[in-house]
Chain A
Amino acid sequence: MPMIQLSNIERYYTTGLQKTWVLRQINLNINAGEFVTIMGPSGAGKSTLLNIIGMLDQPNNGEFLFLDEPVFQMKERHRNELHKQYMGFVFQAYHLIDDLTVYENIETPLLYRKIKKNERQSIIAELLDRFNMVAKKDLFPSQLSGGQQQIVGVARAIAAKPKLLLADEPTGNLHSTQGEVIMDLFKQLHAEGMTIIQVTHSEKYATYGSRIIFLEDGFVRNDERIGS
């Protein structure tokens, strides 16, 4: 059973009387353990698709089954639970909470999952250690470089041990060396069994994954598996 089943997903915006189509007839299955890269020109609908998969946005038509459950028919609460249990997000602009320290940023998803204090401490300690951020744990985002911020972003995204990591141009704002650090992290996580869907413009980073979906004008133009 695929983890994600999208059938005939369509998304448009109405501005005035005009309909602007963003996603057209998207049919996709993604299995647990895949590392998918979505590519395509700017405005192709990549972020929109990622947000729909991440349950942050809803399509106008089509069906979305997550682990065989119809996402858009379920109650808000239930969806929120699924979302909390399975999803982690990484953003191009990092989106750390400015008023929280590194430590507190990583802690926040754990708080929403009502994880006990000592357990939280050990999870965060482990992450800080793994990403070499122990010394920076009490700094605020504005005191970090972009690369460091994105590392915190990744740490925060995986703190609650999601099954699915969604990353929208995670390296878009980074220098290539910083970008590679992040991509190496992704590779490791994938190796550990995490399902990853990323959006990127970089041919090189696309090769870190196991499958490339090419989007254009809202249509899936190409969908190929690559060996690694």
Chain B
Amino acid sequence: MFKNYLSVALRSFMRNKVFTLINIAGLAIGISASLVIFLIVQHEFSYEDFLKNKDRMYRVVTTLHFPDQEINNGGVPGPLHTAVEESVPGIEKSTAFWMNYQMDVNITDGNNKSETFKKQKDILYADEGFFQMIPYTWLTGDPGDALNAPNQVVLSESRARVYFPYQDITRAVGRTITYDDSIQAVVTGIVADLNEVSGFKFSEFISMATYLDDWKKYHDGDEWGSVNSTSQFFIQLEPGVDPERINEQLAELRKQHSKEDDVPTEYTLQPVSDIHFNAKFDSMSSPHGHKPTLYGLLVVAAFLLLLGCINFINLTTAQSSQRAKEIGVRKTLGSSVGQMRLQFLSETFILATLAAIISLSISPLILRIFSGFIPEGLQFNLRQHPMILVFVAGLILVVGLLAGFYPAMVLSRLKAVLAIKNTSTEMNRNRGAWVRKGLIISQFVIAQFFIIATLIVGKQIRYSLNKDMGFNREAIINFSAPFNFYNPDNKQFVLNDRLQGIPGIRNLSLAGSPPASKGTMSTTMEYVEDGKNMETTVEVKYADTSYFNLFGIRLLAGRNLQPSDTLKEYVINAFYCHFLGYDDPHDIIGKTIKRGDKNIPIVGVVNDINTKSVARAIGPLAFTSLRKYHTNFHIKLLPQGDASGSWNKTIDAIRAAYRDIYPEEEFNYSFFDDDIAAFYKKEQDIAQLLNWSAGLTIFISCLGLLGLVLFITTQRVKEIGVRKVLGASIGQLVVLLSSDLMKLVLIAFLIAAPIAWLVMNEWLANYAYRTDIGIWLFVLSGLLMFVIALITLSTQTIRSALVNPADSLRSE
């Protein structure tokens, strides 16, 4: 029986090639988008799944309760882990480790030939508990004592291969590695790279004892009062232990060790499964995932699938009269209603399967569309992800039912008597016309929504990029001098002097971070006056004398900063000035801010600047000069084409000077306006996703429209002929044929516009500074959809209006 269905299905697909293509294209786009999104989502949700005792594993994290701000930190103070291990019962295993940002690695071979590897990443100081909790596979070495003495290091296989040329990589054991020219460690083990979705992926594990011995003096590692996010502490509870109990004991420990004037601090257990998505606390070796984005992606996938299914439903039910005869005949031949349903459902499944096969081949293309959302290392590879096939099978089932169920119901219900009537007038009654209209409207509501959202997000990005942030950003480049915290060499001042002589530079500043940057340095400042005590968190930036001038930041009162090597004076922003109760900035000059036991005078007030993306509101800010921390160069270039020549020439000269002074370093610079644009990477990703979603939903919806108008025009050929004979103009006929469908597009706009308005207002509320939506944007997006739909319809309506009535009216 199935073969009979299959033959009919395939032959009718072939006969109705256009409709089949429209159906398959719509479904294939939906299926491949779902596939790719499935891969992304399933990757994102599988973090740390490889840990067998994941539900008993926790990270200890720190929350600092400042007066008007809560600061979360994924790390803990250095001494906490020893204290916990000594005094808190119920802990089965624990590990403490320090993550290093970058280190320079030096390997010297037997012939005293040495090789340097700059800025190596993923290096840890780990204690021997690390490998007991995180199941790396050991290629060589003893997990029991590979990390329990100073100056030991365990390497991942791939990292070992970078450093050592051995075919048999286990021979690297016993070799010595020098870190940052100061620490030496002997390789005691090699582990296989962790091939799991995990934040515990590191490449070099130096024994913790090395760190304690050598570096303690530089860090605050032994203090309860400070916390560094690189200092990680994980515990695995014994089965049945309530994490709340541990939290209470951590609070007790804190009480014992805190001093009176410490900021109230809380240590809590963070489930390992929470780390990847909880942006409040720092992540480890992988960037945070973002659940709302994933949900957004799922919604997009669902919409695309839905639209494909709607096309199928509409085209199938619209053509029901063509199938009616077969249905009637089959019923007289003995088919039951159930068998008819089965037949039509299986037709849908065949089509869905074809679409799925095609989608497997276009998925790499779709993968590119979502490139901004694809986690590193995720590939579309059937061998790597065999569950893709299971998922595709599931999708076929879902799509088959979703798209096939309603048409199967409608078609199988057709009365045999009507179907086999010799005259066909009966069957041409449009079955399910209402449902079809509703579905078209919902398709275009979705497409219209995406158009509006795309335009609004684009507008907000343009607004963000062009907003006056309170400083200049044009023709400014930034780069930083290498800075050795432990052993300041002051070479940046030498470079500074050298740069002064380069002709293409208009202005030069050696200071801290630029006016707007990713990282933030903030501190609690206390302002005391007339018994009023105002304590608040203030962002701090280091500036030199030319900083304000270079960035076009205006002094509203007082004077510029003077160079200083110690904390001597502050220039604050207008916001902080108002915050402290001064409407006229001149009145605050000379007042002081209490820092520890010193009173630091306020010598100037500057205009407010946005130090972050425009999502963030302006807050209190203070500039000061602390020359030893000034390692960022800001250079304002002269306009191109002047006597000074091109920017490239100037930058080449800067590079040459830099290489002279730091022969071993790479010169990396960036244009300040590019850096600011990069603040909006996430928005750009969203915009890209929306662009594509809008494009694809419009495409699928218009495919459906095309199918329907094709059907309608064929069905009305005679009518068109008669009307033409009666004197209708081409224009009148086109309007006649298009108006019904265009009305639906219009209704869709009326529904989509308010929804989009609400949703996008909600989104914009995330931005402290935002564009206004504006009526014209809605008008424009409505027009856009209208025109696209009209063009789609015209391809067909004009053609059929042009048909010579003599041809269409020729009797059969």
Contact = CB atoms under 8 A, between A and B. Distances in A.
B4 A56 contact: no
A34 interface: no
A21 B468 CA distance: 82
Interface string A53-97: 010110000000000000000001100100110010101110111
Contact of A108 (B333, B417, B420): B333
Which of A76, A77, A91 counts the most B-chain CB atoms under 10 A from its CB?
A91
A104 interface: yes
Contacts of A113: 334
Given A56-B416, A93-B422, A111-B1, A99 B8 contact: yes
A156 B336 contact: no
B336 A57 contact: no
Contacts of A98: 15, 326
Which of B7, B11, B333, B421 counts the most A-chain CB atoms under 10 A from its CB?
B333
A99 B8 CA distance: 5
Interface in B1-24: 1, 4, 7-8, 11-12, 15
B417 A51 contact: yes
Contacts of B7: 99-100, 104
Contacts, number: 67
B332 A112 contact: no
Contact of B336 (A54, A80, A92, A160): A80
Query: Looking at chain A's contact residues, is the secondary structure mostly helix, strand, loop, or mixed?
Result: mixed
Contact of B332 (A54, A77, A93, A96): A54
Contacts of B417: 51, 56-57
Contact of A95 (B1, B4, B337, B420): B420
A179 interface: no
B333 A99 contact: no
Contact of A56 (B326, B332, B337): B332
Given A56-B417, A95-B328, A100-B8, A112 B422 contact: no
A175 B330 CA distance: 27
A84 B334 contact: yes
B329 to A, nearest CB: 5
B416 A107 contact: no
Contacts of B420: 56, 91, 93, 95
B59 interface: no
Contacts of B8: 97, 99-100
A109 interface: yes
Contacts of B766: none
A139 B334 CA distance: 23
B339 interface: yes
Nearest to A140: B11
A77 B336 contact: yes
B334 A109 contact: yes
Contact of B333 (A77, A93, A156): A156
Query: Looking at chain B's contact residues, is the secondary structure mostly helix, strand, loop, or mixed?
Result: helix
A100 B328 contact: no
Contacts of A87: 332
A89 B329 CA distance: 9
A111 B4 contact: yes
Interface residues of A, number: 31
B339 A112 contact: yes
Nearest to A94: B329
Given A112-B333, A113-B334, A104 B4 contact: yes
Interface in B362-386: none
A97 B334 contact: no
Nearest to A79: B336
Interface in B726-751: none
Given A91-B420, A112-B339, A160-B334, A99 B329 contact: no
Contacts of A76: 337
A50 to B, nearest CB: 10
B473 interface: no
Contacts of A160: 334
Contacts of A100: 4, 7-8, 11
Contacts of B335: 112
Nearest to B421: A47
Contacts of A83: 334
A100 B1 CA distance: 13
Interface string A152-177: 00001000100000000100000000
A97 B330 contact: yes
Interface string B404-431: 0000000000011100111000000000
Interface in A168-219: 169
A169 B420 CA distance: 13
B546 to A, nearest CB: 82
B413 to A, nearest CB: 13
B331 interface: yes
A92 B422 contact: yes
A107 to B, nearest CB: 7
A113 B339 CA distance: 12
Which of B331, B420, B421 counts the most A-chain CB atoms under 10 A from its CB?
B420
B180 to A, nearest CB: 76
A59 to B, nearest CB: 12
Contacts of A56: 331-332, 415-417, 420
Nearest to B322: A98
Contact of B334 (A77, A80, A93, A99): A80
Contacts of A104: 4, 7
Contacts of B330: 97, 108, 112
A49 to B, nearest CB: 12
Contacts of B325: 95
Nearest to A111: B1
Contacts of A77: 336
Contacts of A89: 332-333
Contacts of B421: 47
B182 to A, nearest CB: 81
B4 A108 contact: yes
Given A92-B422, A93-B422, A99-B12, A107 B4 contact: yes
B563 to A, nearest CB: 89
Nearest to B1: A111
Contacts of A156: 333
Interface string B622-666: 000000000000000000000000000000000000000000000
Contacts of B339: 112
A112 B334 contact: yes
A84 B335 CA distance: 8
A98 to B, nearest CB: 7
A144 B326 CA distance: 18
A93 B7 CA distance: 23
Contact of B329 (A54, A84, A92, A95): A95
Which of B1, B328, B332 counts the most A-chain CB atoms under 10 A from its CB?
B332
Contacts of A54: 332
A113 B337 CA distance: 14
Contacts of A80: 334, 336
B422 A109 contact: no
A80 B332 CA distance: 10
Contacts of A92: 422
A67 to B, nearest CB: 17
B583 to A, nearest CB: 81
Nearest to B337: A76
Contacts of A95: 325, 328-329, 420
23 contacts: A51-B417, A56-B415, A56-B416, A56-B420, A57-B415, A83-B334, A89-B332, A89-B333, A91-B420, A95-B329, A96-B329, A97-B326, A98-B15, A98-B326, A99-B7, A100-B7, A108-B330, A108-B333, A111-B4, A112-B1, A113-B334, A160-B334, A169-B422
Interface of A: 47, 51, 54, 56-57, 76-77, 80, 83-84, 87, 89, 91-93, 95-100, 104, 107-109, 111-113, 156, 160, 169
Closest 5 CB pairs of A and B: A112-B334, A99-B11, A84-B334, A109-B333, A89-B332
Given A56-B417, A112-B333, A112-B335, 10 more contacts: A56-B416, A91-B420, A95-B325, A95-B328, A99-B15, A100-B4, A108-B333, A111-B4, A112-B339, A169-B422
